[in-house]
């Protein structure tokens, strides 16, 4: 196929919007269950259910033959990065307000835009780079560095930022792999990695012995013992699995369909969604710093997108990647 056939920004934007909505629902469900289950149990269940949906997408796109890859090492690294990013972020969600944790995580699209320069050869001009700086300023404000004491440990506030850096690196790798790898296959690799890692946690810490005497809520969420869910919790677990399948496919498809600098800003719609869920379900109303930080990040994202549309052409890095097919 020609480069123009693959360069479909409208489709990439549609996929990223659907995926971001699914992410917000997934985070909501994780927070709902975080008080009674360990994180690795939730990860295992959502991955097991999500893998069923993912295989459905895989067979719709071409079947098991799509799983063949000539770069298994990069696939394994990509899967590990997304697992680490998810578990780091979810550990923060258990403690922080949903809107604040999500807003802090939204340094990820800014990282993606920056990483697309050296890793994908994409062009980011001075105006878009300025918008990225403004977005990072919003992230700093969200961390409220001027406060001497906070309701949570300072290191907990860093967890979403660490997750963002890992996620950004994973998504840029997706762009590199997406030229020859179907979105469904990429999603299967990730879901399988979730299963392996969560089972490893179960073998090592599934009996909860490492959680004894631990007071920090994030660490408790990571280390408490597995337990069999009561009947009323199974619909929530099923919802987690469904969201996992949708997220895995849509994010991979988005970054295969369009340049990273085009797609990434649309992940910002996760901010108002997270604030809404936090207010509607948990009664969490953002403090002024959260509103200011969100405004800066969203404004930066919209500006970056408008600049990309104004250019109206594929980035140089995208053309060079098609040439390697």
Give the C-alpha distances (Å, rounded to integers) separating 178 from 166, 204, 226, 264, 269.
18, 34, 36, 15, 24
Q: Please list the helix, strand and coil fractions of the chain in percent, rounded to the nearest 5, in that order.
A: 80, 0, 20
Q: Quote the pLDDT of residue 27.
A: 92
| 3-state SS class at 215 | coil
Mean pLDDT per 10-residue segment, the chain (325 residues):
58 91 92 90 90 86 84 83 91 89 82 82 82 87 76 82 88 71 81 91 89 81 89 91 85 79 77 90 87 83 68 37 26
Distance CA 189, CA 12 (A): 21
Residue 120 is predicted with a pLDDT of 78
The strand ranges marked E within 131-208 are none
The CA-based angle 227-233-238, given to 5 degrees, is: 105
Instruction: Report residue 70 as tokens.
Output: 């000539």
Q: Count Cβ atoms within 10 A of the Cβ of residue 236 and give its class: 0-12 exposed, 13-18 middle, 19 or more buried.
A: middle
pTM of the predicted protein model:
0.79
According to the model, what pLDDT value does residue 179 have? Answer: 54
Q: How many residues does the chain have?
A: 325
Residue 127's Cβ-side half-sphere holds a number of Cα atoms within 13 Å equal to 10
Contact 315, 172 (CB under 8 A): no
In contact, 31 and 189? CB cutoff 8 Å: no
């Amino acid at each position: 196929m020609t480069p123009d056939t693959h360069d479909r920004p409208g489709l990439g934007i549609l996929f990223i919007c659907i995926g971001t909505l699914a992410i917000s629902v997934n985070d909501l469900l994780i927070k709902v269950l975080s008080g009674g289950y360990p994180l690795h149990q939730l990860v295992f269940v959502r991955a097991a259910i999500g893998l069923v949906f993912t295989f459905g997408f895989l067979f719709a796109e071409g079947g098991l033959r799509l799983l063949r890859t000539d770069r298994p090492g990069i696939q394994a690294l990509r899967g590990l990065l997304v697992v680490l990013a998810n578990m780091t972020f979810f550990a923060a969600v258990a403690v922080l307000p949903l809107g604040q944790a999500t807003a802090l995580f939204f340094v990820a699209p800014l990282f993606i835009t920056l990483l697309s320069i050296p890793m994908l050869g994409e062009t980011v001009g001075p105006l878009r780079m300025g918008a990225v700086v403004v977005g990072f300023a919003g992230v700093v404000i969200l961390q409220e560095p001027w406060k001497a004491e906070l309701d949570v440990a300072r290191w907990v506030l860093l967890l979403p930022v660490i997750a963002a850096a890992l996620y950004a690196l994973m998504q840029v790798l997706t762009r590199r792999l997406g030229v020859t790898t179907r979105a469904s296959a990429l999603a299967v690799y990730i879901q399988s990695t979730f299963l392996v890692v969560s089972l490893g946690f179960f073998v090592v810490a599934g009996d909860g012995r490492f959680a004894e005497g631990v007071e920090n809520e994030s660490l408790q969420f990571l280390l408490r013992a597995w337990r069999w869910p009561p009947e009323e919790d199974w619909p929530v677990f099923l919802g987690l699995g469904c969201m996992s399948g949708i997220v895995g496919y849509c994010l991979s498809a988005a970054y295969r369909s369009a340049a990273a600098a085009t797609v990434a800003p649309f992940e910002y719609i996760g901010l108002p969604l997270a604030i809404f869920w936090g207010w509607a379900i948990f009664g969490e109303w953002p403090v002024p710093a959260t509103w200011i930080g969100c405004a800066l990040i969203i404004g930066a994202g919209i500006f970056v997108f408008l600049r990309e549309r104004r250019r109206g052409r594929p980035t140089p890095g995208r053309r060079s990647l098609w040439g390697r097919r």
